Chains A and B, each alone.
Chain A
Amino acid sequence: MKKRLYYIVYVAMAIISLNSCSIDNYDWPEETLKGRVVDAATGDLVLTDQGSEGIRIRLKELSWKGTAAPENFDFWCMKEGIFQNTKIFKGHYNVRIDGAFIPLLRLNNQGDTIADETKYIDINGVTEVEFQVQPFLKLEWMGQPTVKDGKITASFIVNRGVSPQDFKEKIEPMGNYSDEFLNITDVRLFVSQVPYVGYREWDNRYSVQIDYPGNTFEESLGKPITITSNGSIPAGRTIFIRAAARINYATEGVKRHNYNEALRVDIPSNK
């Protein structure tokens, strides 16, 4: 008799507890946003760093009314200039990207919008976007890197991705324009042991930075630049290298580099 009572109580409690497992307010975020960042002039992907000095994608869920203002939802572009996020809530969004290219959202000195090339889209299912941007610089490898005594020597060319006139036309209305913005301040050869090599992932024992004061780089535009890595990389290692350069202009508070693609270099083993 007593056992049976316990049994009834137990079942009742189980039912009650199950009852409280109601469905959560929201479905899983399961929409996907895929995107590409391409050079408006050439259609090539805009290569970037992978991290906070690379291309930032910022979503703002405009259809969200739960708080006073939607919280920024940021993520970072892959180094190839493509991005994807598969955990996004369905809704209407503003999508903006910032990187080493002419800003899509431009404000003047009073904070008024003078150009807004960001995208306002509904994200539903797999949504694809393509941003056409004007990268500040374009870097290309010249030939294959060579290895000698644990040092890598590589050549590349730096060109402007946007003409100085075009740059000025777009940036000057934002106020406090200076011709110095266009100066190329530094050129680097980043060396790392992982393929995600860049400003947030470089081995400072081997990477090289060359600074150019004022506009002294100007005459080297379009000409091969050859850099040899620092130190001595132990034999047998697999190394990834990238060249990068940047101009004296910050987008969203950060002076970002433009890159060429990461190359794998195998340091021959001693045997």
Chain B
Amino acid sequence: MNMKINYFLYIILLIGGISIACSDYLDVPPKNLITDDVVFQNSASTLTYLSRMYSQMPFEDFKYSPARQFFDDWLVTPGTNEGSSIGRDAGAAMTSEGWARNGAYWTRAFELLRDANRLLEALPKYKNNFSEIEYNYFVGEGYFTRAMVFYALAKRYGGVPLITSVLNYPEKPVSELEVPRSSEEETWNQVLSDFDLAIQNLPTQSSQKGTANKYVALSFKSEAMLYAGSVARYNKITGFGEKTNVRVIGFDPNTASEASIKYFKEAYNAAMEVVKSGKYSLYKKKWAPNDKEAQYQNMVDMFFDEESPENILIKEYSYPDLTHGYDSYNIPRQLMGGNGYSAGNCPTLDFVELFDGIEKNPDGTIKVLNDQGKYLLFDNVTDIFKNAEPRLKANVILPGEIFKGEVIEIRRGVYTGDTSNGISPLRVVNGGSPDYSISGPENYNQVDAYTSKGDFSQKQLFLSRDGSNHEVVTLPNGTQMNAGGKSGPFTADRTGAVTGFTIRKWLNPNTPQSLVLEARSEQHFILMRLAEVILNLAEATSELTLAGQPTPDGSDDQIIISQVISQIRERAGADPLKATDILSGEKGLQLIRKERRKELGFENKILWDIRRWRTQHSDPLNGTTQQDGAYYRGLYPFYSSQTDKYFFDAGIEESRMRFRFMEQDYYFMIPSDQVSKSPVIDQQPGR
């Protein structure tokens, strides 16, 4: 009996098994994979796809540094390499991506490119899932992403493989999927056409903060086209790929000037459209005419006001989901947070001297000596900068300035010597004459006043070794004073203001010290603001005039340049343009470039500017050039105990960081594994 039932059961199971296998109702989509049908079923789901794309965008914000490249949380030093500052952890010119822990951007770029191409290819299939507005928006985002990726690639590598469709592997063999590098010119043309398609499709308003719209795309287009035009105009290195014989870097010298004019016109038109839209204005909420304090506060606030009418695109951060550590790494030494970082980014005197309102020598350097060659004495440490342009104070914490309600004490040392005949320059060794060249003393602990040599029969200069080991001086009134300031600079460690300055831009004045921690800051980064767009406009205008071209819309070039510079300077509290200032020709161009360096320092823009101008290797810098290795300068405050006054010593900064950059470094090497494994990818010619 039992046996029979068993047989019976087996037969039923067998039949059942066969019949089930014949049907396909179990052939359901796997639950662990999300298919295109789901991703592109409506606007909300497509936004999810978009947000993944945005997280990989090559935005140069708080997680970017020239040395470490994108998506790196650690020690971010935005102004180093551009010359605005030196950083303890970025002591040389960026010539490669060798420090980038996340690898060369080359490899990363193609991942996002694939996402963008996939979006662009999938959208037409699901067009019915969207309203026309939504559909156009997503198409626009696809092109915007692609434009940004190709732009980020072009400024690093020159010509790149122009992959504009999804490469399907393993459906197609690898040999059919190899794409060689295009020429640099074709690459810039691709950047141009992708930006144009983005502009055509994107709406005039962003769907949410931090995403693209028509004017975002126009603004970045103006920046990218200025880059392309400058390379076509100033680049001198070109060559052909060995495998493909394609001109992978540089422009054909026969057509380069034509190309540069085309790109400068595109830059002009794009920037002009943003200006004419009237959607954005320079931030002046707290600004008041002739009120330097208000102008200064206005320029500090503009970086923290999310509703600033000047912002075109920002990258938002929010604790605890997405954070950065800018405050922690860059805070002045005396306000150091719990992770023990400070002053990672110290502005150079070369940067400070660009600004107005400082007494200068005829050669443009800061005036620290009187006509007899003795130090000028100041009652207060802040006096030397008391008339400085408000924009400088918004960028840099100057000695004795107040930050977070505290006086930031920057003092290199105390001088106790006699002052009846004035104080002679300190950088003297063994009784020689003062030596402020590179062969002079590097550190103040080598000078005669400190070592009691030469004219000094006893030690009359006192310094602090580091933040907790001070030489203490008893002042004539009996009180005691540490030689070095609470925020340095110190002799033997570089946690203080190594140049005599520490950075203020982007530092959040409202973060309590207990929260000045790594991965705790949440202020946003401004990726694009109107000030840059109008400076782009002025520069494109100037370049076109220099090339003998009228502006595309027939506007008067002098009026445009003068309006742009006047507006920027007025808001910054800088000296207004004088009637004698020359706005035309090469001089006018230099004036615009200088304004750019003052306005956009520490915003990850200037390094790319000096690279596209091709001046990084060749510009004179304190007696040499970066191709031979160059140094920046610092300004070191000293207190004279006999007079109860301050004096300042200006010279090559003490840590002697040497920046060296060769002309061929304008193009990064292609990662060598990518070159050797591909039959078509070329290394940079000559490398």
Q: How far is the CA of A253 from the CA of B629 in the complex (A)?
A: 18
Q: Which residues of B contact A (CB under 8 A)?
A: 236-237, 239-240, 242-243, 245-247, 252-254, 432, 435, 437-439, 624, 628-629, 662-664, 672, 675-680, 683, 685-687
When the two chains form their complex, are residues A68 and B663 in contact, meaning their CB atoms are under 8 A apart? no
Report which of A72, A109, A209, A231 forms a contact with B252, defined as CB distance below 8 A: A109
Report which of B246, B435, B662, B676 forms a contact with A68, defined as CB distance below 8 A: B676
Report which of A53, A69, A206, A253 forms a contact with B685, defined as CB distance below 8 A: A253
B685 to chain A: which residues have CB within 8 Å? 252-253
Q: How far is the CB of A107 from chain B (nearest CB, A)?
A: 6
When the two chains form their complex, are residues A109 and B439 in contact, meaning their CB atoms are under 8 A apart? no
When the two chains form their complex, are residues B253 and A175 in contact, meaning their CB atoms are under 8 A apart? yes
Q: Contact string, A236-247, partner B, CB cutoff 8 A, digits 1/0?
A: 000000000000
A98 to chain B: which residues have CB within 8 Å? 686
Report which of A107, A204, A232, A250 forms a contact with B663, defined as CB distance below 8 A: A250
A67 to chain B: which residues have CB within 8 Å? 676-677
Complex interface residues of chain A between 23 and 74 (CB less than 8 A to chain B): 53, 67-69, 71-72
When the two chains form their complex, are residues A176 and B663 in contact, meaning their CB atoms are under 8 A apart? no
Q: How far is the CB of A175 from chain B (nearest CB, A)?
A: 7
- Chain A residue at minimum C-beta to C-beta distance from B673: A71
When the two chains form their complex, are residues B237 and A253 in contact, meaning their CB atoms are under 8 A apart? yes
B438 to chain A: which residues have CB within 8 Å? 204-205
When the two chains form their complex, are residues A68 and B677 in contact, meaning their CB atoms are under 8 A apart? yes
Question: Given that A72-B683, A253-B687 are known contacts, is A209 also in contact with B628, CB under 8 Å in the complex?
Answer: yes
- Chain B residue at minimum C-beta to C-beta distance from A67: B676
Q: How far is the CB of B676 from chain A (nearest CB, A)?
A: 5
Q: How far is the CA of A176 from the CA of B247 in the complex (A)?
A: 15
Q: How far is the CB of B55 from chain A (nearest CB, A)?
A: 33
When the two chains form their complex, are residues A176 and B676 in contact, meaning their CB atoms are under 8 A apart? no
Q: How far is the CB of A210 from chain B (nearest CB, A)?
A: 13
Q: How far is the CB of B494 from chain A (nearest CB, A)?
A: 21
Q: How far is the CB of A17 from chain B (nearest CB, A)?
A: 32
- Chain A residue at minimum C-beta to C-beta distance from B672: A71
- Chain B residue at minimum C-beta to C-beta distance from A108: B240
When the two chains form their complex, are residues B663 and A230 in contact, meaning their CB atoms are under 8 A apart? no
Report which of B237, B437, B663 forms a contact with A231, defined as CB distance below 8 A: B437
Q: In this assembly, does A13 line the interface, its C-beta being within 8 Å of a C-beta of chain B?
A: no
Question: Given that A71-B675, A209-B628 are known contacts, is A176 also in contact with B253, CB under 8 Å in the complex?
Answer: yes
Q: How far is the CA of A231 from the CA of B440 in the complex (A)?
A: 8
Q: How far is the CA of A252 from the CA of B663 in the complex (A)?
A: 11
Bin the interface of chain A by size: 20 to 34
Q: Contact string, A98-126, partner B, CB cutoff 8 A, digits 1/0?
A: 10000000010101100000000000000
Q: How far is the CA of A98 from the CA of B672 in the complex (A)?
A: 21
B662 to chain A: which residues have CB within 8 Å? 53, 254
- Chain B residue at minimum C-beta to C-beta distance from A72: B683
Q: How far is the CB of B234 from chain A (nearest CB, A)?
A: 15
- Chain A residue at minimum C-beta to C-beta distance from B430: A232
When the two chains form their complex, are residues B237 and A250 in contact, meaning their CB atoms are under 8 A apart? yes
Report which of B237, B624, B664 forms a contact with A204, defined as CB distance below 8 A: B624
- Chain A residue at minimum C-beta to C-beta distance from B684: A253
B675 to chain A: which residues have CB within 8 Å? 69, 71
A68 to chain B: which residues have CB within 8 Å? 676-680
Q: How far is the CA of A214 from the CA of B680 in the complex (A)?
A: 41
Q: How far is the CB of A74 from chain B (nearest CB, A)?
A: 9
- Chain B residue at minimum C-beta to C-beta distance from A52: B662
27 examples of A-B residue contacts, CB within 8 angstroms:
A53-B662, A68-B676, A68-B677, A69-B243, A69-B678, A71-B672, A71-B676, A109-B252, A109-B253, A111-B247, A112-B245, A204-B438, A204-B439, A204-B624, A205-B438, A209-B624, A209-B628, A230-B437, A230-B439, A252-B685, A253-B663, A253-B664, A253-B685, A253-B686, A254-B663, A254-B686, A255-B663
When the two chains form their complex, are residues A109 and B676 in contact, meaning their CB atoms are under 8 A apart? no
Question: Given that A68-B676, A71-B675 are known contacts, is A111 also in contact with B240, CB under 8 Å in the complex?
Answer: yes
- Chain A residue at minimum C-beta to C-beta distance from B660: A200
Q: How far is the CA of A197 from the CA of B243 in the complex (A)?
A: 36
Q: Which 8 A-B pairs have the closest CB atoms?
A: A231-B439, A205-B439, A68-B679, A111-B240, A252-B686, A253-B664, A253-B686, A176-B253
Q: Contact string, A72-109, partner B, CB cutoff 8 A, digits 1/0?
A: 10000000000000000000000000100000000101
Q: How far is the CB of B241 from chain A (nearest CB, A)?
A: 8
Q: How far is the CA of A69 from the CA of B664 in the complex (A)?
A: 23
When the two chains form their complex, are residues A69 and B676 in contact, meaning their CB atoms are under 8 A apart? yes
B252 to chain A: which residues have CB within 8 Å? 109
When the two chains form their complex, are residues B676 and A253 in contact, meaning their CB atoms are under 8 A apart? no
Q: How far is the CA of A253 from the CA of B675 in the complex (A)?
A: 19
- Chain A residue at minimum C-beta to C-beta distance from B629: A204
Complex interface residues of chain A between 167 and 191 (CB less than 8 A to chain B): 175-176
